[in-house]
Structure 1
Amino acid sequence: MTTLVVLGFYFVFSGDVLGQTSNEKQRIEIIGATVIERDPNISDASRLIGNVRLGLEDAVLTCDSAYRFDDGRFEVFRNVHITEGSGTEVFADYAVLDPEVEVVEISGEVRFMHEEFSIECPAMIYGLESKLVSYSQRAKIIEGDRVLFSDNGVYSSKTDRLYAGGEVEIRENNDLIISDSLAIDRNDKTLILFKTSTLKIEGAVIKCETGIYDGELEKGWFAGNASIEDDGGLLAGDSIVVSRANNEGTAWGNITVSGDYAKRMDGSDIVEGSSTSKVRVVNIEGEDTLKMNSRRLVREGDMLYNSGGVVFEQGTFSGQGDSLSWDRKSNEIWLLGEPVVWSDQDEMTGDTVKMILQENRPELMKLMGNANVLSPTNDSLDHQISGRNLDAIFRDGKLKKVDVKGNGMVVYYSVDDENNVSVNRATCAHISLVFTDGLVKRITLLNKPEGRFENMNDKLEEDVSVKARIAKPEI
């Protein structure tokens, strides 16, 4: 038996819709079909054939044919098309409408469209009331120039938020984002990263295990072995905050910094940098502030490593070298690569420099290999003390005593007036110097000293060769 188009035939749904809290029941109306037939000998379902139209509250479903079962389920076939008043459309080959859960299970070249946003996948579930789309097979999501691929996800057309997981890949022009799990808020252009992710955005590479990125402000927070690297430099740490628009960054925990990045505040430390200067470290303890500049900075626990040219300064105490390591726990600093240290007007050099700090002030210092000290006599002359190794003792951050051991040599000037200058040249195995207010007050030659005292106004037996000073860098 067959029956022609039937109108006004209603079925009532009940139950939650993917978390729906409303108690209103979803009504489905058979708007029309070319043929509606039922044969109990063949099936316990009514069959709708040709131009099938179903009413779903504010939506209309059309298809080529459908079955309506006695338990209220609808099974629809071929050219399935759902349109809603909001403009949302769904295309598929097959779908099942279940009144118990008020959802549509859709499969077969599924395409969901909401405004400029579309989802293409083999199958999905769509909430009639909640407007939630969920998929568990590889999907392609398109919005403008952005294309997203993921293995599973949920999208709400009410909130315009997408949750995607399982080898997520986003491509937009030359940008690429790869993540295990993320969320996108289409309204405020916010990207939320839940698991291991890599972002390649406008020439920058950002890596993290979790984070939030504002696409409009180009600003984000990232954590879990987080880093950002671009042509300007590198900023890495346990967590970082980056503003690409302002070329600024902040890092916490075990950090690595080089180039343009970054500014870091962590307790009493500040690390900052710009495209025109080195990375800068400022450590504050009481009234004493220690500043360091370098091309690259790495912090691992209590260890701080600076490289690529290091300059530091604490009051009248300063220095430079190719690299520096600082054990923050023991306050021990090693300066390598043609190191130079200045204390007031005194200049000290050696192959390697080791320093012990107390409240950011120098307490002990060792110059190992080719040690040399220049201490001013007047505006044009420097006392010179050199040897194999040198030990220096400081008091209140000022040089107090120096011991030179091994192959010691001293060139010491005595200035009575402008026209009467004498030079004392001596060698011995051990030289001891005492300083007061930054000036040499006493020199003691120990262990078989040899030397002579001559007036510089007379013709000297040998030229007096004193090492030239190294220009002190600005910090």
Structure 2
Amino acid sequence: MRCITLWLLVVLLMPKGNHYEYEINVFIHADTDSVVVEGDLLRGQQEGDEFVQYVDGNVQVTLESTKVTADRAIRNVTRRTSTFTGKVVLVDDGDTLRADSLHYEEEPEIGYAVGNVRLSDGEVVAMAPMGTHYVEERRAVFPQGLLLEDSISVLTAEAGVYQIEDKVADLTGNVKMESENAELTSDSLTHYRDFAITLARGSVLYLTVSGEDSTWIAGERVERNAKDSLSIVRGNPLLVHFERDLLSVDTLIIGAGAFRIQESKEGFRLEALRDVRVWKTSFAARADSVVYDRPENEQHESAWFYGEPLIWADDIQLSGDTVGVVTEEGALDSLFIRGNAFVAEEDSLTKRINQGRGKGLVGTFRGDSIRVFRIGPNAEAIHFNSSEDGELHGAWEASGDEIIMQFWGESLRITFSTDVQGKRHHESALPDTLALDGLRWEPNLKPIRERLLSHPLVSTLRWTR
């Protein structure tokens, strides 16, 4: 048991049985550390092997650098513990803890706070129904809910730990992080305030809003660096972007193995990796990777697809080594293929595949039905002829330096220029399979909106904020 080496009492003591009462006193206990106890009414008494102080009214207890004020206090001098009730305020090294009640252990310097708990270090405010404050470690544990707020964001969770010195928050259970024009939810989250880095884990949903437009991102893990405006999303993420105007909503959906997202004043860039699937109101695509750019305050967007890309514009399938797509106000504007360009379209009547191929391709789109593809050099084409009732009338197979394939509605026109060579296949001699080298006709791989939206996290999305 620790020995009490000095008691100093100010004001005349009034004996009452086995204890003393005194009013408006300063009560000093000196041992290896000094404790100053002040209050309107103080009473000290021996209770078995322990000496206990009862303080009532304007309580103030000072323990080295720690000062606690309250309406009432009971201090066990022998055990070196104190229980404070009523408007409790603990101040230590710039940290301020407020609560309805506080049990404080002097030796390990731990405070157990209950009721309207509020902890602040001057930059961050933590609010909770209860919490444990490790004063010397500058660490706070909140087991029954937490709200953490600074000048940039607000975090809430079912439980959490805040490292005050390191400025690190570890939160678990229905975590939500809100900031201007952004919201993130997850199962757990670690936030490094000094570095503005957030690691969110488990069923992560991330929403950003810009004017009338909004972007939802779902994944199993998000690593976000707010200073660099950079996010890495893992765990088969899904992006859903809504672009609104007065008359319509243009939707973009991207699924992949991982995302790298860079935001800046210039705009938004998404790099998607591994089994990329894209569905947009005006086209669909599939590739190993894509780089998607949306400039700020611009009406056009662009995407470059790599790794055996397939693009679908209506029922037309395009492929090549690298494919670039440009949209204007949500509609397809132009398309570029570098290396092994291929165009394929199934004739709706004969079910045969019209084809065109060449070294490269430039495509333009006008309105909802006119598509023009300029293919070359080393261009080749196959076109199946049919009557209006769907009867097959043979096919043309030709090559040239350049060809133009023009689609409008269900009609197709092919024009050749320079060094044209070709032949006609009569319907009676038409082979069962007539295809150019490199044909990949895979309509079953075309991404479908409903399939992409079958992502397990989509059911939890709120489409408006």
TM-score, normalised on structure 2?
Answer: 0.62
Instruction: Give the structure 1 partner of residue 344 of structure 2.
Output: 348
2:354 aligned residue (372, 388, 394): 372
Q: 1:255 deviation in Å?
A: 2.2
1:208-248 deviations in Å (ceiling 9; x for gaps): 22221111111132212123333585543222322222333
Amino acid in structure 2 at the alignment position of 1:321: W
Q: 1:382 to 1:181 in 2, by over 3 A?
A: same
Q: 1:279 deviation in Å?
A: 3.5
Instruction: Give the structure 1 partner of residue 94 of structure 2.
Output: 116
Instruction: Give the structure 1 partner of residue 20 of structure 2.
Output: 46
Amino acid in structure 2 at the alignment position of 1:65: L
Structure 2 distance, partners of 1:27, 1:174, is 49
Instruction: Give the structure 1 partner of residue 454 of structure 2.
Output: none
Amino acid in structure 2 at the alignment position of 1:83: T
Is 1:84 aligned with 2:63? yes
1:410 aligned residue (388, 392, 395): 395
Equivalenced residue count is: 343
1:424-463 deviations in Å (ceiling 9; x for gaps): 3766897544567659xxxxxxxxxxxxxxxxxxxxxxxx
Moved more, 373-382 or 203-212: 373-382
1:123-168 deviations in Å (ceiling 9; x for gaps): 1011122211111222122332533220110112211111123332
Q: 1:114 to 1:425 in 2, by over 3 A?
A: same
2:132 aligned residue (148, 154, 160): 154
SS at match of 2:158: strand
Structure 2 distance, partners of 1:246, 1:380, is 46
Q: 1:94 deviation in Å?
A: 0.7
1:244 aligned residue (207, 226, 229): 226
CA contact (8 A) 1:117 1:143 kept: yes
Q: 1:161 to 1:311 in 2, by over 3 A?
A: same
CA contact (8 A) 2:344 2:355 kept: yes
Q: 1:38 deviation in Å?
A: 1.9
SS at match of 2:199: strand
Q: 1:104 deviation in Å?
A: 0.3
- Report 1:272-351 matches (<5 A): 272-275=260-263, 276-282=268-274, 291-293=288-290, 312-314=305-307, 317-321=308-312, 339-342=317-320, 344-350=340-346
Q: 1:423 deviation in Å?
A: 5.5
Amino acid in structure 1 at the alignment position of 2:43: Y
1:355-384 deviations in Å (ceiling 9; x for gaps): xxxxxxxxxxxx997853114598486423
CA contact (8 A) 1:238 1:253 kept: yes
CA RMSD in angstroms comes to 4.1
Q: 1:281 to 1:386 in 2, by over 3 A?
A: farther
Structure showing greater radius of gyration is: 1
Structure 2 distance, partners of 1:225, 1:64, is 54
Q: 1:295 deviation in Å?
A: 6.0
Is 1:61 aligned with 2:37? yes
Q: 1:337 deviation in Å?
A: 6.8
Instruction: Give the structure 1 partner of residue 8 of structure 2.
Output: 31
Structure 1 distance, partners of 2:15, 2:238, is 74
TM-score, normalised on structure 1?
Answer: 0.61
Structure 1 distance, partners of 2:350, 2:271, is 27
Instruction: Give the structure 2 partner of residue 138 of structure 1.
Output: 116
SS at match of 2:396: strand
CA contact (8 A) 2:25 2:40 kept: yes
1:167 aligned residue (145, 149, 153): 145
Amino acid in structure 1 at the alignment position of 2:168: T
CA contact (8 A) 2:232 2:261 kept: no
1:70-126 deviations in Å (ceiling 9; x for gaps): 22111111111112332x211111111124542100011111112332122211011
Structure 2 distance, partners of 1:158, 1:435, is 77
Structure 2 distance, partners of 1:118, 1:28, is 31
CA contact (8 A) 1:79 1:91 kept: yes
SS at match of 2:227: coil
Q: 1:53 deviation in Å?
A: 1.8
Task: Mark the runs of 5 or more structure 1 residues left unpaired by the alignment.
Answer: 1-13, 15-24, 260-265, 285-289, 297-307, 323-335, 353-366, 389-404, 440-475
SS at match of 1:151: strand
2:80 aligned residue (102, 108, 126): 102
Structure 2 distance, partners of 1:45, 1:36, is 10
